Amino acid sequence: MGFKEEIKRRRTFGIISHPDAGKTTLTEKLLLFGGAIHVAGAVKSNKIKKTATSDFMEIERQRGISVATSVMGFEYKGHKINILDTPGHQDFAEDTFRTLTACDSVIIVIDVAKGVEAQTRKLMQVCRMRKTPVIVFINKMDRSGKDAFDLLDEIETELQISVNPLSWPINMGPDFKGVYNIYQKNLSLFTPATQTIQETIEFDDLSNPKLEEYIGDDAEILREEIELVSGVYPELDLQEYLDAKIAPVFFGSALNNFGVRELLDAFIQIAPSPRPCQTVERVIEPTEEKFSGFIFKIHANMDPNHRDRIAFVKIVSGVFRRNTAYLHVRNGKKLKFSSPTAFMAEKKSIIEEAYPGDIVGLHDTGNFKIGDTLTEGEKINFKGIPSFSPELFKYIENADPMKSKQLAKGVDQLMDEGVAQLFTSQFNGRKVIGTVGALQFEVIEYRLLHEYSASCRWEHINLHKACWIKSNDEEQLTEFKKAKFQFIAKDKHGRDVFLADSSYMLQMAQNNYPKLEFHFTSEF
Ligand code: GDP
């Protein structure tokens, strides 16, 4: 197969949802279709149930042993599919944001009874920002939930995207009969089953009285609803989906393995193959001959005896080859990788080469941080992996004077992994850790102790938000920094950060210094 065909047949995507909507279940069913697993229950949920650090650590340890769960690759009908795992817990939303930068498209799972939930809304914001094409899967149709039309309206309003149903449910809950597949003009009848795959019935003319034989009285309702649907929602314009303006919608029940094949079959047809990627310097096309890629995730080994890490690189262009020297653009070093790993469902294996869209795990001894670029020599820097304004802050102090080096190293590496952000106060030189979730402080403390033998102590600091500041007006910038000297810090890259202690203070600053830009993501 040629290079271009390899690119064309790849689909790299993430599944996102509010916890409990059915992301894990859907992932598992997709893997079943791909023959990547053979029994249900094989995919470990990455859910943190007790919101406790111990629980998180347990999950991380399991995942550390089987990092394969980070990326699940499989073959389906001639396509190479890569599903990227995203943490569901809101405290780890930033991990999910970063993983989304490596996704060429996204499937959003929505619980038919609960509709659009908080986490879905947040993640969709990121998709909108990045113009990632999304497909919506409305799950749990075997349970009573919201009316399909109402739900579609809710999605349009809440997620700020137009929708276009490609399948339509026939009743729901205990009376759920199945779905009519508008896209492929066939009928799938529902029978609760978790392991089998339902057959579909070709059915392109709904006025055919045979419909009554299959679904009885619901036939008339279906006809009316489909007529309504075709009136309200014109035929899907693929380009609009690819431009992230319209989200195709499917209905089903992941648990019952129902509607999943329709979803997957449409997905391989319409979802984008690897897309061009923006660097600071220029746009990189996947078909360019020279290899390039970026690190979007770093996975630490939780085993203290093996303190290595795995850096996940998304291949953007060209062919990545084993044992070939590539330029690590940020530090100017050439690096070779003797055991790059690829992930096929449950197992990982060393690969010789990988194509755009693929995710490769690189053994890392501390060279990488999130956002790093690898190339064959060109000095480009991929964009789009911003840090977000943290909202929780604590001073970090060394609790063991004998271990200050270990602490510094640990903090440094954990920040590279993207666990949290470090700010150094320009006022008193103290180090402030900022996070998006409360759990991270416990995670940092635990990991510093177990992986670096360092002890830290947290001290309260009253802060509302950190934002990056910039101005073309040097004078006003200097004036601001002088006036707010107690609240000025540097981030890890030496950029100026304003640590506002209240929303009022932030607002006042924005009003009083109109020539200053206040940024809430690190990339602007
Ligand atoms: P996640 O948090 O989004 O990964 O959700 P899970 O996949 O773990 O599912 C949450 C719960 O919903 C589990 O108990 C599943 O068995 C259940 N579930 C998933 N899909 C369906 C479905 O189609 N119907 C019903 N009734 N339950 C489902």
The answer to whether residues 45 and 28 touch, using CB atoms and an 8 Å cutoff, is no
User: Mean pLDDT over residues 12-20, rounded?
Assistant: 92
Atom of ligand 1 minimally distant from the CA of 46: 4
Separation CA 134–CA 246 (nearest Å):
8
When computed from its CA atoms, the radius of gyration of the chain, rounded to whole angstroms, is: 25
Going by pLDDT thresholds of 50, 70 and 90, the confidence category of residue 357 is: very high
Query: Looking at the domain 392-519, which fold is it?
Result: Alpha-Beta Plaits (3.30.70)
The answer to whether residues 14 and 84 touch, using CB atoms and an 8 Å cutoff, is yes
DSSP 380-403: --B---PPBPP-EEEEEEES-GGG
The closest of 384, 362, 418 to 284, measured between CA atoms, is 384
20 CA → ligand 1 middle, Å: 6
Q: Was domain 12-73+85-271 assigned CATH 3.50.30.30?
A: no
The domains spanning 12-73+85-271 and 392-519 adopt the same CATH topology: no
Q: Is the shortest distance between the CB of 22 and ligand 1 below 6 Å?
A: yes
Nearest alpha carbon, ligand 1 atom 22 = 140
Binding-site sequence positions for GTP: 17-24, 85-89, 139-142
List the domain boundaries for the chain: 12-73+85-271, 278-375, 392-519
**Per-residue pLDDT at 433 exceeds 70:** yes
Contacts of residue 441, Cβ cutoff 8 Å, sequence gap at least 6: 392, 394, 420, 433, 435, 458
Report the interhelical angle of 439-452 vs 404-417 (nearest 10°).
130
The answer to whether residues 218 and 212 touch, using CB atoms and an 8 Å cutoff, is no
153 CA → ligand 1 middle, Å: 23
Q: Is the shortest distance between the CB of 59 and ligand 1 below 6 Å?
A: no
82 CA → ligand 1 middle, Å: 22
Atom of ligand 1 minimally distant from the CA of 258: 23
Q: Is the shortest distance between the CB of 357 and ligand 1 below 6 Å?
A: no
Q: Is the shortest distance between the CB of 70 and ligand 1 below 6 Å?
A: no
Nearest alpha carbon, ligand 1 atom 25 = 140
The answer to whether residues 88 and 59 touch, using CB atoms and an 8 Å cutoff, is no
Q: Is the shortest distance between the CB of 45 and ligand 1 below 6 Å?
A: yes
The answer to whether residues 517 and 469 touch, using CB atoms and an 8 Å cutoff, is yes
Q: State residue 523 phi and psi, 5-degree precision.
A: -110, 120
Percentage of the chain lying above the pLDDT 70 cut: 89
For residue 204, how many other CB atoms are within 10 A of its CB?
9
Burial 470-507 (b: 16+ CB within 10 A, else e): ebeeeeebebbbeebeebbbebbeeebbbbbeeeebbe
Q: Is the shortest distance between the CB of 30 and ligand 1 below 6 Å?
A: no
Sign of the alpha-carbon torsion through 343, 384, 91, 157: negative
Separation CA 513–CA 11 (nearest Å):
46
What digits encode the pLDDT tens for the residues 135-175?
999 999 999 999 999 999 999 999 999 999 999 999 999 99
Half-sphere exposure of 433 (CA within 13 A, CB side): 29
Q: Is the shortest distance between the CB of 11 and ligand 1 below 6 Å?
A: no
The closest of 13, 60, 166, 88 to 417, measured between CA atoms, is 60
The answer to whether residues 305 and 331 touch, using CB atoms and an 8 Å cutoff, is no
What digits encode the pLDDT tens for the residues 32-45?
887 766 655 555 55
What pLDDT does residue 68 have?
40
Contacts of residue 508, Cβ cutoff 8 Å, sequence gap at least 6: none
35 CA → ligand 1 middle, Å: 21
Q: Is the shortest distance between the CB of 144 and ligand 1 below 6 Å?
A: no
What pLDDT does residue 49 have?
47
Separation CA 236–CA 238 (nearest Å):
6
Q: Of 65-69, 74-78, 317-321, 517-521, which one has max mean pLDDT?
A: 317-321
The answer to whether residues 467 and 519 touch, using CB atoms and an 8 Å cutoff, is yes
**Per-residue pLDDT at 386 exceeds 60:** yes
The answer to whether residues 242 and 134 touch, using CB atoms and an 8 Å cutoff, is no
Cross-strand bridge partners of residue 80: 10, 75
Nearest alpha carbon, ligand 1 atom 17 = 22
Going by pLDDT thresholds of 50, 70 and 90, the confidence category of residue 199 is: low
Query: Looking at the domain 278-375, which fold is it?
Result: Rossmann fold (3.40.50)
Half-sphere exposure of 317 (CA within 13 A, CB side): 21
For residue 224, how many other CB atoms are within 10 A of its CB?
10
**Per-residue pLDDT at 55 exceeds 50:** yes
Cross-strand bridge partners of residue 181: 167, 186
Cross-strand bridge partners of residue 430: none
Separation CA 428–CA 418 (nearest Å):
25
What digits encode the pLDDT tens for the residues 78-107?
999 999 988 766 777 778 888 899 999 999
Tokens of 326: 């590539």
Q: Is the shortest distance between the CB of 25 and ligand 1 below 6 Å?
A: yes
